[in-house]
Structure 1
Amino acid sequence: MSADRRFEDATALAQAFAAGETEPAEAMQAALARMERLNPALNAVIHPRPERALAEAEASAQRWSRRWAGGETLDDASGVGVPFDGVPMAVKDLGCEQAGEFHHAGARFLVELGWQGSLDSHLYRLLSGSGLVSVGRTNTPEFGTTITTEPDAYGPTANPWSLDRSPGGSSGGSAAAVAAGIVPVAHGNDGGGSIRVPAAACGLVGLKPTRGRVSTAPRLGEHRGGFAVDGMLTRTVRDAARCLDIISRPAPGDPYIAPPLGPGESFAGSLAASLPPLRIAVSTGGRGRASPPVCRAVEQAADLLARLGHRIEPDTAPDGWFSAELADHTIVVRMVGMATELAGWAERLERPMTSDDVEPANWWSAELGASLPASAYVQALEALARWRRRVMSFWNADPAPGPSTPDRNGFDLLMTPVLADVTPHLGYLADPIDGARRIAELAAFVNQANLSGQPAISLPTARDADGLPLGVQLHAAHGGEGLLLAVAQQISEADGFIALGDLPQESS
């Protein structure tokens, strides 16, 4: 396979393996060649592992040879018949620990220590066990605490659509690698829009799963107060569904468990579900909360859903969805979380952490978090729990696709923007004076799903005046990933997605 040959997505590449059209070592060589050519401008993959990736791809090729020779069935956990064995992926350098691989979380002190993972996380075991092969770990802001990927430790990652724009964050390195076609899928995590924001900025599908759907074992428990969950960035809905089938397997002792699927069910199988007309609320947050281009993108997506037979109710959102008090409670949890993160590193390193170790914003956050009484943290969690119960009544209790029933009086989905404005230039959100305010304004639509624990998905449905992607977001009830994926697939099949194609930076 030539270095320029690409496939639509991971599913298409796996089907090519099954048909004998190409094989994993060739696909990996193409991915590595593309990374070598594009990564210097993107700065997406910061810990490449070409030798190990090629060796793992060769092992995958041997497994495919045995399948062909033995006539083995190609069924896998995703229920669609062809495993991802040998498909290249990338892993975000935050969480998803890999034994013997660099793991720096965007932090200078870990770079200086040359810190490496000492074990394979539950999540990485699931990914590698499915046959996915990592080309390396991707750039992330320090500890993933912002929505742009510009860490002091490794420098900024560029958006493949325009190298002077942010790719979003904190999974910006992963999003850039997928959007540029280096890999078809990449790991990310989302504690405040960190999968959905880069998906919107880079023209990808970004699914934030339900709280507890993806295990944080063995190191983490209530990750970031329960706000954060791991997931994947993909080019297509079908890849998003198949990836979720791979990674959604709980581990003993998990603090949260998402509602399980029924016997024989899979997220990939939900794509073929026959959808009844759904009741979909649409909100851009009221006057001035989202820019005109973003509002138009939401309106266009809502119009498409209406043409597909769904009932659209504009200017509708759960009571309290945009409550100003959420920020006060959220910041307490996040600051205590930052203090806890640094205290954990101090314990592991057997020395105190200092302001020289981390970026100023995170040090300030940790200092304030350490000064708060335990009661403030508990009170914030209780307030958020009350808010969560308040907003949950907005959704139908049963989020599964299926025939409408007389007692389904709530909404099936909520559509909002992902970002409140177009993708910003690099430096805009990292500004030491105005950056925090700008982030708060831009991220007005993403934190709610982290606080509620609900699933949400970013879909690449529009472009701005400069031709850059704009994402819209769908939220479902707790456990409703199957419905999100089914509707996303319906939008995709109606040509509702923008095309990735060849990105502008490739011709430069």
Structure 2
Amino acid sequence: MSGDIREHVTRLDAVLGFMATTLPPASPRPTAPLTGGPFTGEPLLVKDLDLKLAHAPLWRGNHVLREHGAVSSHDDPLGRRLRELGFDIVGRTKSAEFGLAVTTEPLAYGPVRNPWDHERSAGGSSGGSACAVAARAVRLAHGTDLGGSLRIPAAHCGVFAWKPGLVRPATTPTFAAWNQHGFLASRVDDLRRMLPVLGRDKPSDADRSGTDGPTRRVRVGVLASAVSSAIDLGSGSVEAVERMADKLSDQGHHVLAAHPRVLEEFDQFAMKTTPMLAGWLAQEVADASKDLGRPLTEADMEPGTAQMLAMAALATPEAVRDTVQWLHRIVTDLTAWWDRFDVLLSPTVPIQAPRLGWLNDPDTAMHRTYGMMQYTAMFNASGHPAVSVPCVGAGDLPYGVQLVGAHGSEADLLDLAEQLSPDGAPTPPVP
């Protein structure tokens, strides 16, 4: 079976280009045996970013790390957990370089092609994982989400994505806390099985209705307008949200046009947090340099990565202090909205998957990138859990709608996602 799944993955990868590298069966591990866990033998693809597996490649979408053949020296806690649970980790999926882009077109190993239209982006930075799941290479794939990196590719490729939230609201905003491991799948059941893997299987603190189970009525606020000046909301995205809102209403939920007004400060959020993002990137580059055995230089990176890294100089102690104070108010206002609502329904991204290259133009890339993140990034800062739910729209390309819940409501969000799409993700026309 192990050889069969690797042959299946390789065949689809030859068409879509979602793999960074495959890993051999029973890849080297220093600790427990590969048998006995509840997921024993189940194939899993993991993103080439932020997940260390001892003796396995970790290239972070960077061509120099790839050419060097960089490997991790140890398992990080999640890597060890996945191995102990028995997953057959088939390989690593492509990531945007250091996870900075909302498309997956790294110079290190070429673009990931959207399985619905091979000339379109699969989203990013977890585009390789989203594409693999959409193409049915595997049922489940790992990704990371710093500002939408799970949810955006899920929307473009037409699969489910789960970004876990923090257990409680963030008090000191840091990018380390914002960056969350999560999973993409073609069925909600597979995401639900991963709740205990990431320690999110406890009963929801958000269930204030006094009833149990997925049929309880929830209070849903609906956002169907742009909150950024960078990219307008497409009419198809509006229709997708309205269609899903109608479904929820038909199922007896309380649905009302409403959203946290603080989301409309997104452009200011993007501007203020960019230097902090650059500071976080500097730490990631320093960590990658250890695997390389020398410092990574600007010449070793894509121009956009080097440009972002240079902005770390703007993250002075005074600027960071001011930004943290401003973010504290943003997070407080966002969190207060859930005193009156259980769920926010919005687009995941403002438009369908753009053509390859559209997000790579140096003159427009940052502006367009932030525009694509307008519904996702603030919820990394606030630590709210979120799920992207697929639906097919105009031109047979998928849309994604996002469900955001109160802290601790992951299980409830997955129940609601299954109500919206009980038959699972649509199947694209891949070979």
With structure 1 as the length reference, what TM-score do the two structures score?
0.77
In 2, Cα distance between equivalents of 1:340 and 1:88:
31
Distance 1:175 1:377 in 2: 34
Alignment counterpart, residue 74 of structure 2, candidates 114, 119, 122: 119
1:333, distance to aligned residue in structure 2 (A) = 1.5
Paired with 1:380 and 1:173, the residues of 2 have a C-alpha distance of 33
C-alpha distance in 1 between matches for 2:185 and 2:120: 20
In structure 2, what residue type is equivalent to 1:279? R
Partners of 2:226 and 2:350 within 8 A in 1: no
Q: How many Å separate the matches in 1 of 2:291 and 2:27?
A: 30
Amino acid at match of 1:372: A
Determine the C-alpha separation between the residues in 1 that align with 2:3 and 2:283. 41
Moved more, 86-95 or 238-247: 238-247
Q: Which residue of 1 aligns with 2:106?
A: 151
Aligned to 1:254: none
Q: 2:4 maps to which residue?
A: 30
What residue in structure 1 maps to residue 283 of structure 2?
340
Cα-to-partner distance string for 1:386-412 (whole Å, 9 max, x where unaligned) = 11001111103xxxxxxxxxxxxx101
Conserved? CA contact 2:43–2:90, under 8 Å: yes
Partner of 2:410: 481
Measured in 1, the distance between the counterparts of 2:73 and 2:219 equals 48
Residue aligning to 1:434 = 364
Cα shift at 1:44: 1.1
1:240 matched to 2:197? The reply is no
Matched-pair contact (CA < 8 Å) for 2:99–2:125: yes
Deviations 1:439-469 (A, max 9, x none): 2222221112111110010001x22322111
- What does residue 305 of structure 1 align with? 248
Distance of 2:48 and 2:287 partners within structure 1: 18
**Residues in 2 aligned to 1:391 and 1:443: alpha-carbon distance in whole angstroms:** 17
Separation in 1, partners of 2:50, 2:295? 22
**1:341-375 CA-partner distances (Å, limit 9, x unpaired):** 33444567564442211111111211121343122
Equivalent AA in structure 1 for residue 305 of structure 2: N
The whole-number CA distance in structure 2 between the counterparts of 1:444 and 1:129 is 37
Cα distance in 1, alignment partners of residues 322 and 291 from structure 2:
29
Matched residue, 1:224: 175
Secondary structure of 1:165's partner? strand
Report the TM-score when normalising by structure 2: 0.90
**Higher deviation after alignment, 182-191 or 322-331:** 322-331
Q: Secondary structure at the match of 1:433?
A: coil
Superposed, which structure 2 residues align to 1:29-428 within 5 Å?
Answer: 29-52=3-26, 83-211=38-166, 224-248=175-199, 261=202, 273-286=213-226, 289-314=232-257, 316-323=258-265, 324-346=267-289, 351-396=294-339, 410-428=340-358
**Any conservation in 2 of the 1:457–1:473 contact (CA below 8 Å)?**
yes
* CA deviations over 1:41-96 (Å, ceiling 9, x no partner): 211112112444699xxx87x75xxxxxxxxxxxx8xxxxxx32211010101011
Greater relative CO (CA pairs within 8 A, separation 6+): 2
Q: Give 1:459's aligned amino acid.
A: V
Unaligned 5+ segments in structure 1 are 1-25, 64-75, 77-82, 214-220, 250-259, 266-271, 397-409
Tell me, yes or no, if the aligned pair for 2:70 and 2:292 is still in contact at 8 Å.
no
Deviates more, 1:39-48 or 1:182-191: 39-48
**Residues 189-208 of structure 1: per-residue CA shift (max 9 Å, x gap):** 00010111111111111010
Of stretches 414-423 and 428-437 in structure 1, the one that deviates more from structure 2 is 428-437
Cα offset, 1:385, TM superposition: 1.4
* Cα distance in structure 1, aligned partners of 2:85 and 2:290: 34
In 1, Cα distance between equivalents of 2:155 and 2:352 = 9
Deviations 1:81-138 (A, max 9, x none): xx32211010101011111111000112212321101111110111122221111011
Does the alignment pair 1:505 with 2:430? yes
CA distance in 1, matches of 2:292, 2:309: 17
Residue aligned with 1:300, SS: helix
Q: CA RMSD in A?
A: 2.6
Cα distance in structure 1, aligned partners of 2:28 and 2:39: 16
1:339–1:365 contact (8 Å) kept in structure 2: no
- Structure (1 or 2) with the larger CA radius of gyration: 1
C-alpha distance in structure 1 between counterparts of 2:151 and 2:288, whole Å: 28
Which of 393, 396, 411 matches 1:467?
396
Q: Matched residues in 2 for 1:350 and 1:456: separation?
A: 38
SS in 1 for 2:389: strand
Residues 352 and 99 from structure 1, CA distance in 2 versus in 1: closer, same or farther, beyond 3 angstroms? closer
Rate the CA distance shift 1:386–1:444 in 2: closer, same or farther, 3 A. same
Q: SS at the partner of 2:338? A: coil
